[in-house]
Amino acid sequence: MLKLFATAAGGLSELLREELMSLGAKNVKAQPRGVSFEGNLEIAYRACLWSRLANRIFLTVLETELETQEDLTAEVERIDWSEHMDAFGTFSVSFSGKGMGIDHSHYGALKIKDGIVDHFRNNGGERPIVEKQNPELRVHGHLNRNQLTLSIDLVGYSLHQRGYREGQQVTAPLKENVAAALLMRAGWPEIAKQGGALYDPMCGSGTFLIEAAMMASDLAPGMDKADKMGFITWKKHDEDLWESLLVEAEAREAAGLRTLPAIYGSDVSHKSLDIAEEAIAAAGYEDSIEIKQMSVEQGRRWGDWMPGLIITNPPYGERLGEVDEVKIIYSALGHYLKTEFDGWKAAVLTCNPELGMYIGLKAVRSHNFNNAALECKLFRFEVEEAYHREPAVRGGANLAEEVRNALPEMEQSDGAKMFSNRLKKNLKPLRKWAKSNQIMAYRVYDADMPEYSLAVDYYHTLEGGEWVVVNEYAAPKTVDRGAAKRRLHEAISVLPSVFDLAPDHIIFKIRERQKGSSQYEKLDENKQYFTVMENGVKLRVNFTDYLDTGLFLDHRDVRAYVAKQSRGKRLLNLFCYTATATAQAAVQGASSSLSVDMSKTYLYWAKHNLMINGCDESKHRLLQENVLEWLDEASETQQGQFDVIFLDPPSFSTSKRMEGTLDIQRDHVELINKTLKLLKNGGELIFSTNLRKFKLDKAALEAYELSDLTHKTMPKDFQRNTKIHQAWSIIKSV
């Protein structure tokens, strides 16, 4: 077992200890200036490659007590340095500490250098050369009174230098490894796994953003400078082992990029954002991190984001002069958090703890950190009304609780009456239409009035219960945030009376933009499934556990079209979700089907959709695969295997195979062409997308017979908002 030591900035030793244990290190002990540990060469290499927190990794070659100052050179000479370098090689020496009359680092380094040179002179006559810039071996000595520790510096530079700031003439306010530690303390790794977003509203040069992306994408922080590691020229270096670890790291990054959550940053300074943009590009995340110039005083986020973590390092006072001016910024930050990010977690680093009081939130935890010579504190917050230090409007709560808490007079307000009248106006003809067409689930309202930015869906289940599912969309930027909350309460207050339902049968959700795996994450764990009929087929729905119910209502007529075209034919359903289209096709006589999706959860759901309709599992198969990766292989090995293909991809998705992301507008031609390889001559591809601004590149697909199905597949309950989806039939010519 090798003895090793990882140095770290003040306050990071405990976190570094946990990190090294996760890498497989043994006998790990946190110490004031770092962490001692043991392991084989692979563990040493992993620490160099994967540690986000360490500064340097040292391999201990000598630990001894000195009797006199002269013993220093003699003890160094006794080491067999030929195991570590050649006699004609180059080396450098660094030194820290003091004792035995050695008070200067230069003198201590000189004594160690003499010992190394003497060893080679006394064993063959040749001597190595001291080279300070690019030596083949870096040696470090540390003296604590009479205790000497001699080590080989395996890295040769501080690991906080990831590589993405090389060439920049700027000193970031936060070192990269300190930023990584703050993200760990704030809980970002777990939030990222759940698909939550990250936002830094005062991002400066972008260190938090880049480190967050590196963590979430499982990028080894030492990867960009892997060929500059000090041990590359060390005589005991195992090149095959190192290469195998790099291959593993590349595979992990490729997998991690596919589920990279949304990361955003903003700052008032365009100069800082220019620096951030350059570093983001150098780190390879220009397609994954979005930044914008704005101040927290503006108090508006610019999109619908999956709730996650806000983390930031505001000014402390020195850079802006008067502390009173900085207090205004902290107050504005607190207002921004409470009005725009209810339900999020937040972490704020400050070197003036008093300023944390001006945020207006009660911290749930705090941690001490050192940022260079400054002693700082990280405050962690739950952005919820219970922690507000001053009254604020509650948002994003359970609907039943909202109804109970809404003021009685809210239902009698002019706005509530107006919203109620619109619902009743929509509902009357829809009920008659749904009854005559045996439709049990339909949309009643879809942000018909911009001030009431909701979608309201009605479900009548076979179990006999009626339910209403309400999704809140982000209000337009022109609508005041407080006014939007008031109107939300007005809308909520009238729903039970309009639908004649108890409040606990009205489910309220906040509709956020989905990223990566977030669409598959649970909101709850009720496991209550109900059944609705559509086009003569039973379909399972769940109102509480997921953001979506398992049934996209706007695709009702698309599913009917797919089922009709699949009679007696072989169907392929890509990005199949809960395979509702497959179930309908199977019931209507499809000879066989293959449904592909990456979510185990939704495929289990799909299996039950097929089972409750008595579908033959041997003919109607489900496959858990990343569709984009599966297509790459299948388009070469399964050409012409299907008569009908239903392709309904997400608008955006992370995938390294598509230049870092799948953007359906940018990539649809390539995706369609790959899919068409699986279609037999004369077969039909039904392509659909919910991207509202989507434009099909007809010129690139002119070799095929195209028919626009959008109008034909737009259900009556969505005809008020015909931009909900677009659909085409693409015939592969014989």
Q: pLDDT tens-digit profile of 620-672?
A: 999 999 898 899 899 888 999 999 999 999 887 654 334 446 789 999 999 99
| Max intra-chain CA distance, the chain | 102
Strand partners, 538: 533
CB atoms within 10 A of CB 176: 24
> Token pair of 99, please?
């004792």
Answer yes or no: same fold for 176-217+260-387 and 548-731: yes
316-333: b or e for each residue (b if 16 or more CB lie within 10 Å)?
A: bbeeeeeeeebbebbbbb
> Token pair of 728, please?
């085409």
CATH class of 548-731: alpha beta
419-431: b or e for each residue (b if 16 or more CB lie within 10 Å)?
A: bbebbeebbeebe
Tell me how far apart the alpha carbons of residues 80 and 123 are, in angstroms, rounded to a whole number.
10
Reduce the DSSP state of residue 701 to 3 states and report it.
Answer: helix
612: which residues sit within 8 A by CB, 6+ positions away?
A: 531, 538, 540
Assigned CATH topology for domain 2-153: VC0802-like (3.30.2130)
The residue to which tokens 């520790």 are assigned: 149
Q: Do residues 621 and 605 make contact, with C-beta atoms less than 8 angstroms apart?
A: no
Tell me how far apart the alpha carbons of residues 586 and 580 are, in angstroms, rounded to a whole number.
10
Q: Phi and psi (nearest 5°) for 390?
A: -145, 155
The residue to which tokens 């339909």 are assigned: 442
Share of the chain above pLDDT 70, in %: 90
* Burial class, 370, CB count within 10 angstroms (exposed 0-12 / middle 13-18 / buried 19+): middle
What is the C-alpha radius of gyration for the chain, rounded to an integer number of angstroms? 31
Tell me how far apart the alpha carbons of residues 282 and 277 are, in angstroms, rounded to a whole number.
9
Of the options 3.40.50.300, 3.30.70.100, 3.30.750.80, 2.60.120.1570, the CATH number for the domain spanning 399-511:
3.30.750.80
DSSP state, 648?
Answer: -
Distance from the first to the final alpha carbon of the chain = 68
Tell me how far apart the alpha carbons of residues 247 and 371 are, in angstroms, rounded to a whole number.
34
Q: Do residues 623 and 607 make contact, with C-beta atoms less than 8 angstroms apart?
A: no
Which parts of the chain sit beneath pLDDT 70?
169-172, 317-324, 390-412, 474-485, 510-526, 653-661, 734
> Token pair of 170, please?
């700027």
Reduce the DSSP state of residue 540 to 3 states and report it.
Answer: strand
Is the pTM here over 0.75, yes or no?
A: no
The whole-number pLDDT of residue 522 equals 47
Tell me how far apart the alpha carbons of residues 87 and 121 are, in angstroms, rounded to a whole number.
9
Q: Do residues 455 and 436 make contact, with C-beta atoms less than 8 angstroms apart?
A: no
DSSP string, 597-637: ES-HHHHHHHHHHHHTTT--TTTEEEEES-HHHHHHHHHHH
Q: Do residues 441 and 460 make contact, with C-beta atoms less than 8 angstroms apart?
A: yes
The whole-number pLDDT of residue 515 equals 39
* Burial class, 356, CB count within 10 angstroms (exposed 0-12 / middle 13-18 / buried 19+): buried
Tell me how far apart the alpha carbons of residues 611 and 125 are, in angstroms, rounded to a whole number.
83
CATH class of 176-217+260-387: alpha beta
CB atoms within 10 A of CB 353: 14
Q: Do residues 459 and 506 make contact, with C-beta atoms less than 8 angstroms apart?
A: no
CA 546 to chain centre: 18
Of 364, 256, 272, 362, give the one whose Cα is nearest residue 314: 272
Task: Provide the residue ranges of all domains of the chain, joining segments of one domain with +.
Answer: 2-153, 176-217+260-387, 399-511, 548-731
Q: Do residues 168 and 278 make contact, with C-beta atoms less than 8 angstroms apart?
A: yes
Strand partners, 263: 198, 289
Q: Do residues 654 and 662 make contact, with C-beta atoms less than 8 angstroms apart?
A: yes
Tell me how far apart the alpha carbons of residues 687 and 726 are, in angstroms, rounded to a whole number.
8
